[in-house]
Structure 1
Amino acid sequence: MQLSIVIPLLNEKESLIELHDWIAQTMQSNHFLYEILFIDDGSTDGSWETIEKLSAEHTPVKGIRFLKNYGKSQALHAGFAQAQGEVVITMDADLQDNPEEIPELYNLIKNEGFDLISGWKKKRYDSVLSKNMPSKLFNWAARKTSGLKLHDFNCGLKAYHSKVVKNIEVSGDMHRYIPVLAKNAGFQRIGEKVVQHQARKYGTTKFGAERFMKGFLDLMTIWFVSKFGRQPMHLFGALGVLMFFVGFAFSIYLGIDKLFIHKTGRLITDRPQFYIALTSMIIGTQFFLAGFLGEIMVRSKKNENTYAISKKINL
């Protein structure tokens, strides 16, 4: 199979039929062998019933329904696990992504040799204050932290070689950083393409301003995981040794001062250096133990799904 189109959604009933017809028309006009995987992330508006109807009428349509709303990352994880295409396309279900971009995205992966192509919504139809400005700040921070020169990390329209989606684990709220996850997994041919962005036709956005705060926190998480996730002892152990050394040095100083310089001076416990030494050694020991426990957890970690599927269609 050439293409798998993975579409996570939450309460997008009004858009689904129009989106499907638009995708199908594009696929058929380009003679693609394809599948469409709708991942219903706990919709309550009848979206799943629409997916069932589409799957009954169109063989390429497949569906996964979550028991409740788990989040976009978990929806993508489930879709990636089921995708069978050589190239995997992700897009949003709100009609703001244009399916006519897919043939060129496919060509960049299949024929140009890219591992991942991220869309860049250069011209947006969102509110400047609530989305555009925070998005620019967020993307700037992501570029500086990750080293990837992408303009729009959060664009839902992306294309992947199948080996990428089968070798990364998208969890938490890490869907914003799939290019970073791919880079950390060893995939280096990551590019971007300017894509069209359309104004939302139905409903309202499911993401509020708080997503940017979560995004920045996730950015710090992924930076830490990429640097020290496999060997946490390299960070916590080093900090622990440094803090313990500082405390031990103060202890030596206090001992020498008491034994050889101010023999009849005040008690060691009356001096502030004593508490600096004690606190530093305790914190250093705790840091070292945190690194040790982190190493044990990394080596004993088992891959576990963080979502529950209630139904599947054509899978």
Structure 2
Amino acid sequence: MPELPEVEVVRRGLATLVPGRRISGVTVHHPRPVRRHLPGPDDFAARLQGEVFDQPRRRGKYLWLPLADGDAVLAHLGMSGQFRWHTPDAATADLRGEVPVHRHERVTFDLDDGSRLVFCDQRMFGGLSISDGGAELPAEIAHIGVDPFDPAYDLDRAVATMRRRRTQVKRALLDQTVVSGIGNIYADEALWRARLHWGRATDTLSRAKTYELLGHAADVMAEALAVGGTSFDALYVNVNGESGDLNIDVERVEGSRVLERRDWQCRASVLRRQAILWSDLARRALTEQLDGPTCSVAHRRNCGSRIMRGATCA
């Protein structure tokens, strides 16, 4: 799922293109991406007719396009959502049938200068909706905490909140009400840099370690922003269809190097690269094929791999 850096890259791209553009027409090609707009696709299209876009904004993983009348188009990219920009020449070529329509095009905004803003979503877990009076901050996401790049971000408060939670540290990192914008990719990288196991209880963390962890989370997201986001998934693209350049080592995304660092010899770790994206069925089959006693609870915890947890070891 696109996380803060990938969504911020999209916001920055839109910020150079849509402010001041008037919507001349909206076409909803599939109803699912506007399912959160309860009045339906026809109402979604009709209400946006003639509206003018203002400066795009973001909180955490949510993006919204404020409108001049005080409302906003609220967007969540889900797993594969994209905003793609078509220049007036490209949009005209589209209309003439000279350019094939994107197969996952879901909603099209025709703008007054002849350009087009297209929302594409292969898996359709993302979506768009109209937030009444949401230009400043949509009520639908007002409960979400601020992120490390928001001027209102209070690191001291975030540290205190995390240490009060009685949960696992990774769960706390993913809790968008504590610090928003952090997802699996950057949470795992921050934990790796802080040398923390994902299952560590938050109320056992020292204040200094919590500061260090949140600092790493901010650092890795800043690094991703500097290079246009992660290259982990080809669906994470900017408005021009270009992927980012951050390449996070998939071996340590699941904590498998913790196992290597302590010199444990886990036969299942040999296949960790392939196992990262395997289904539960494939993992069960692998478990049945390997020899040796079942991993102990201590080994499972220290291994740090939620994918290979329970696999057998030599």
After TM superposition, the score normalised by the length of structure 1 is 0.27
Instruction: Indicate the structure whose relative CO is greater, using CA pairs within 8 Å and at least 6 residues apart.
Output: 1
TM-score (norm 2): 0.27
Which of structures 1 and 2 has the bigger CA Rg? 1
